[in-house]
């Protein structure tokens, strides 16, 4: 099998960084070039475990820079793009949607144009065959809208009905990828995933926010009644799902990647509280390491729960039906939620300096 030379966009973000670590560990002959603009959610420290790997190259740049993308595709003989780069925080999309339009729609189109130029147009103009290639686009279940409690989970055939500027921008990107396949012959695949969790998850997101706020003795904000339902997917299972799509997926197809693991937000919050309550009650060293977690939180983290006004247009339920991905590609999540959430909690307890720096950077950026 020909070794893959892969361009990973947004590789310094949460899912991208975990995917890169997974890929280089399991595909020893492949090379990865990361392109990342290092915005608020991009953190070069997420790639520290692979920075000395000779098969890894980092480039600081923006996916909207089409000329730069073309240069990278040529100079590194890239034959695969895995496109993670996106503005992804729903709250930020509500208060400032422009960045989501620019990155998620214009940026995706920039990548598609560059890929078409290098892999299709230039070989044709030189009388050569189209280069072997793959453009894989990483999307979200939020493009499908929301579900009622009794509704069946989202399938690949579910009609798109995005409800936030973030979801709408991702839906537009999905359609552009599909159009470049059907119109120009670009060899594409798309995956739509459920909510990821795991190491390197940016502290604004629910699970790391609850963990870090407990450790800092800060309120645990819960939107509305907290009964919004999400399907939670451990990030390494997502990486493995993308690997299966790249290796076995049919060109032009979309594949749902889920965790088979629906939880209400408030139940997630209470579970994390219980796990940290137990950890503090049985480990005196934790109390010394996290003095901010005063007696109000130690053993009773639920006391920090604070219900806040619900997010505008908050979707009630997401759920992924991954039957197609399972039957065609052999995908099933390996990590149980019990094991995955414990791994995640342990990672945050062991990596305080990482998340403290993330929080400090986000506070500085918001004050500018």
Q: What is the set of active-site residues?
A: 141-142, 166
299-323 burial code (b ≥16 CB/10 A, e <16): eebeebbeeeeeeeeebebbbbbbe
Q: How many CB atoms lie within 10 A of CB 158?
A: 18
Extended beta strands in the chain, E state: 5-9, 31-36, 56-60, 80-83, 134-140, 188-193, 195-197, 220-223, 229-234, 254-257, 262-264, 305-308
Q: Distances in Å between the alpha carbon of 153 and those of 142, 170, 212, 214?
A: 12, 19, 31, 32
d(CA 214, CA 273): 8
């Amino acid at each position: 099998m020909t070794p893959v030379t892969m361009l990973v966009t947004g590789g310094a973000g949460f899912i991208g960084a975990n995917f890169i670590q997974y890929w280089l560990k399991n595909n020893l002959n492949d090379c990865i070039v990361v392109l990342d603009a290092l915005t608020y959610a991009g953190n070069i420290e997420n790639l520290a475990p692979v920075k000395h790997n000779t098969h890894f190259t980092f480039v600081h740049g923006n996916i909207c820079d089409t000329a730069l993308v073309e240069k990278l595709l040529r100079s590194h003989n890239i034959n695969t793009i895995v496109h993670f780069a996106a503005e992804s925080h729903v709250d930020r999309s509500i208060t400032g949607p422009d960045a989501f339009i620019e990155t998620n729609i214009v940026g995706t189109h920039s990548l598609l144009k560059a890929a078409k130029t290098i892999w299709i147009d230039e070989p044709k103009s030189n009388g050569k065959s189209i280069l072997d290639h793959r453009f894989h686009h990483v999307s979200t279940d939020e493009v499908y809208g929301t579900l009622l409690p009794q509704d069946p989970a989202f399938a690949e055939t579910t009609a798109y009905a995005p409800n936030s500027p973030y979801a709408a921008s991702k839906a537009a990107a999905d359609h552009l990828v599909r159009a470049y396949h059907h119109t120009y012959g670009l060899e594409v695949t798309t995956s739509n995933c459920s909510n990821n969790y795991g190491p390197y998850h940016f502290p604004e997101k629910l699970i790391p926010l609850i963990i870090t706020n407990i450790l800092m003795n800060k309120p645990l904000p819960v939107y509305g009644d907290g009964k919004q339902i999400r399907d939670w997917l451990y990030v390494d299972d997502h990486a493995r799902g993308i690997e299966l799509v790249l290796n076995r997926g049919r060109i032009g197809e979309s594949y749902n990647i889920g965790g088979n693991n629906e939880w209400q937000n408030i139940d997630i919050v209470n579970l994390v509280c219980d796990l940290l309550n137990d950890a503090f009650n049985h480990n005196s060293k934790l109390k010394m390491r996290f003095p901010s977690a005063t007696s109000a939180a130690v053993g009773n983290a639920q006391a920090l729960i604070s219900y806040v006004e619900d997010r505008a247009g908050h979707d009630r339920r997401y759920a992924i039906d991954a039957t197609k991905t399972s039957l065609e590609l052999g995908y099933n999540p390996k990590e149980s939620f019990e094991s995955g959430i414990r791994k995640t909690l342990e990672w945050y307890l062991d990596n305080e300096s990482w998340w403290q720096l993330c929080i400090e950077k986000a506070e500085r950026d918001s004050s500018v």
